[in-house]
Chain A
Amino acid sequence: MTSTIAPPIVPQPVESPKMPDAPQRATLFGTLQSSLRSLIVPALAIFTAILIGSVLILLAGLDPIKAYGGLLQGAFGSDTGITRSLLKMAPLILAGLSVAFAFKGGLFNIGAQGQLVMGSLLSAWVGFGVSGLPAVIHIPLAILAGFVGGALWGMIPGLLKAYTGAHEVISTIMLNYVAALLLEWAVSPWRASAPPGPLAACSTSGSCASGQTPLILSSATLPTLYTPANGNGDVLHLGVFLAILVAILVSVLIYRTTFGFELRMVGLNPGAARYSGISVARMTVITMVIAGGLAGLAGAIQVLGVTHRFETNQNLSVGFDSIAVSLLAANNPIAIIGSAFLFGAMYAGGTQMQTASHVPNDLIQVIQALILMFVAADQIIRALYRIKAPGAELKVKLSSGWGQR
């Protein structure tokens, strides 16, 4: 009797590791399904924004088909186009990560622009100022400098928020302007009334190029991976893959580490986080330091891979586009790769669109603002296309008053 009962009992421990298999497969399918479902709203937001964009083009008496055709042709029509799309994507990934990371911690970083610009300057400085190093050391050092530059600039609003309650939205924007002026000064040419900036590109005879640093040394230049036929100097550099790698790392940091858990806890409910023993002030500063560093990295790969020097007029809009990139991806680091590629492609194709249809390049910004609006107010999209709202989800609140958390 016991022998008849025993067999079903004995195999059980052997089978039991298989037991969770079935539900796991179901959840895998479930997550796939739900992640597909979560793509519906952003996709419709993009579609609707493009539709409204066509109306704007028609109002200007131009041809939207020609415009969007030119856009697609410019972004994907050749290996040069794809290379340019990827080149524009890379800094957007990193700056988008900066916004997303801060957002997860309950902070709205509008200062990616200033942090990026500080990162590029410091990175360029190490790139041209430190000589005699092999590339294996010089490149990481210059990239690190970019991170540090951005991190220091991000630390200021972090400290202000943590210890005085100054809202990060205003302080980061003010620091954007301060950074812009600081850089303008650092690379300003010699004038009758004032000496040149400390980092301006000046020859030994004393004449300075306007608004730029000297070229970085070849030992600091990011290696080229692919050179398109008619690229006009645009080459695919290592930084593009570095950006994707960082996105994966940030995803792991946010979702798979204790630090990430604490970060999200502070973001969702600072009060509860404080009761569980987390120092909200400390987390606020660390969040802004890392967010700033990520934006600084965006500047670094731009300098080390594309422009090879710091110029005052570069990266004018990356900082602000990063907000749309991050929100479109619902602040998910992996999804940011996709939304950054979309925005990068729009910029890469913009010039072609302008030549093909005379639609001004600025239309792209309008479309991006519309996408941002529809993603932020997904109820509009849900109402328009009759999509059911998702269940209750935890949301980070940004606008709860002006003071300390």
Chain B
Amino acid sequence: MADFSIDPSAIAAVVNASIRNALPITLGALSGIVSERSGVVNIGIEGMMLAGAFAAFSANVVLSVNGVSPVLQAQPIRLLLATFAALIVGGLMATLHAVLSIRFKVDQIISGTVINIFATGLTGYLYVSGASTLGGLPPMIVNPLNADSGLLFNIANVVLNKDILTYITLILVPLVGFALFRTTWGLRTRSVGENPRAADTLGINVYRLQYTNLWISGMLAGLAGATLTLAGVAFERNMSNGRGFIALAVMIFGMWRPSRAFVGALLFGFATALQGQLQFLGGEKIIPHQFIGMLPYILTLVVLAGFVGRARPPAHVGQAYEVE
């Protein structure tokens, strides 16, 4: 039988895996919040994430080719440029969603689905397997302690040893929360999401605000994609694997608030992390690994079923606004 005694290094491993898995979901949820708070449903986060992941990977591949100036190939610059590519591509995908749903008033759910199918097709078409890179993001601060330090070593392993995108994500959670609830932009965003007519009357340019918010939403989704490829380096077809949709469930769970959504994302990260750990502990004799793999998805269903009724979305979300 498996040994279930508590081992600090195993706990550290689970915590690290939870944070790691929570990153793209957190960013995806932030992406959803920024867009939905301004009244636009963004079902296309999945596709924007995939496109961002592909853009970051491709930029990394192109810059890793022999002959590119070593200045650009140096560690922080190459991956910053790759991240930048993910932001731009994510933003462009979101702009397409904005043009379709705001300018052409296509049903926002259909428009988002177009984005998803488009991203799957385009990344599949452009992807060439076997491309190599000079490597992904290194940890920003390497754990200076060694295993002999015991508990302290494990704590340091959780706090340190993370790449820069992890820290950026952790900073973005309170930052988006602050912007949403303490700045003019946030007030305008929320008022457009609740009542665009009233906001319009007060002189807010509803369309411009929605375009801006979708661009930001797309960049956040692109960044989520970057966390998938830059730390892991390799790209796979369809690698977003439903995370964009899980992020939407987390957004609802978090009641359209960044900090609560982050808690939800950690929960999902933990559910995903369990998969690897249970396999590691030999739990597969009891539960097949496929069933543990279902956990995040079933958790999403439970969250949706349990929280949608109680959570109140922005009043005008999903409806195209018509200027009079």
Majority-rule SS of A interface residues: helix
**When the two chains form their complex, are residues B114 and A178 in contact, meaning their CB atoms are under 8 A apart?**
no
Interface flag for B288 (CB, 8 Å):
yes
CA separation between A345 and B300, bound complex, in Å? 37
**When the two chains form their complex, are residues A401 and B114 in contact, meaning their CB atoms are under 8 A apart?**
no
Q: How far is the CB of A352 from chain B (nearest CB, A)?
A: 17
CA separation between A400 and B127, bound complex, in Å? 36
- With contacts A160-B304, A188-B288 taken as known, whether A365 is within 8 angstroms of B121 at the C-beta atoms is yes
**When the two chains form their complex, are residues A193 and B100 in contact, meaning their CB atoms are under 8 A apart?**
no
**When the two chains form their complex, are residues A173 and B117 in contact, meaning their CB atoms are under 8 A apart?**
no
Segment of B4-12, B220-228, B257-265, B306-314 engaged in the interface with chain A: B306-314
Q: Mark A62-93, 1 if CB is under 8 A from B, else 0.
A: 00000000000000000000000000000000
Interface residues of B in 285-324 (CB under 8 A from A): 285, 288-291, 293-294, 297-298, 300-301, 304-306, 308-309, 311, 313, 317-319
**When the two chains form their complex, are residues B301 and A323 in contact, meaning their CB atoms are under 8 A apart?**
no
Contact of B309 among A165, A175, A182, A360 (CB under 8 A): A165
Q: Chain A interface: which size bin? A: 35 or more
**When the two chains form their complex, are residues B308 and A166 in contact, meaning their CB atoms are under 8 A apart?**
yes
CA separation between A169 and B244, bound complex, in Å? 12
Contacts of B304 in A (CB 8 A): 160, 164, 166-167, 170-171
Contact of B121 among A181, A182, A197, A369 (CB under 8 A): A369
- With contacts A376-B111, A377-B106 taken as known, whether A362 is within 8 angstroms of B100 at the C-beta atoms is no
**When the two chains form their complex, are residues A177 and B117 in contact, meaning their CB atoms are under 8 A apart?**
no
CA separation between A178 and B293, bound complex, in Å? 8
Interface flag for A327 (CB, 8 Å):
yes
Identity of the chain A residue whose Cβ is nearest the Cβ of B282 in the assembled complex: A193
CA separation between A150 and B43, bound complex, in Å? 24
Contact of B318 among A367, A368, A401 (CB under 8 A): A401
CA separation between A57 and B304, bound complex, in Å? 42
Q: How far is the CB of A304 from chain B (nearest CB, A)?
A: 26
Interface flag for A110 (CB, 8 Å):
yes
**When the two chains form their complex, are residues A184 and B301 in contact, meaning their CB atoms are under 8 A apart?**
no
Contacts of B252 in A (CB 8 A): 402
**When the two chains form their complex, are residues B121 and A362 in contact, meaning their CB atoms are under 8 A apart?**
yes
Interface flag for B118 (CB, 8 Å):
yes
**When the two chains form their complex, are residues B117 and A402 in contact, meaning their CB atoms are under 8 A apart?**
no
Contacts of A10 in B (CB 8 A): none
Q: Mark A307-347, 1 if CB is under 8 A from B, else 0.
A: 00000000000001001100100000000000000000000
Contact of B125 among A167, A184, A365, A399 (CB under 8 A): A365
Contacts of A372 in B (CB 8 A): 113-114, 117-118
**When the two chains form their complex, are residues B43 and A377 in contact, meaning their CB atoms are under 8 A apart?**
no
CA separation between A379 and B320, bound complex, in Å? 15
**When the two chains form their complex, are residues B109 and A193 in contact, meaning their CB atoms are under 8 A apart?**
no
**Which A residues have a C-beta under 8 Å from some C-beta of B?**
56, 108, 110, 160, 164-167, 169-171, 173-175, 177-178, 181-182, 184-185, 188, 193-194, 197, 320, 323-324, 327, 360, 362-363, 365-370, 372-373, 376-377, 379-380, 395, 397-404
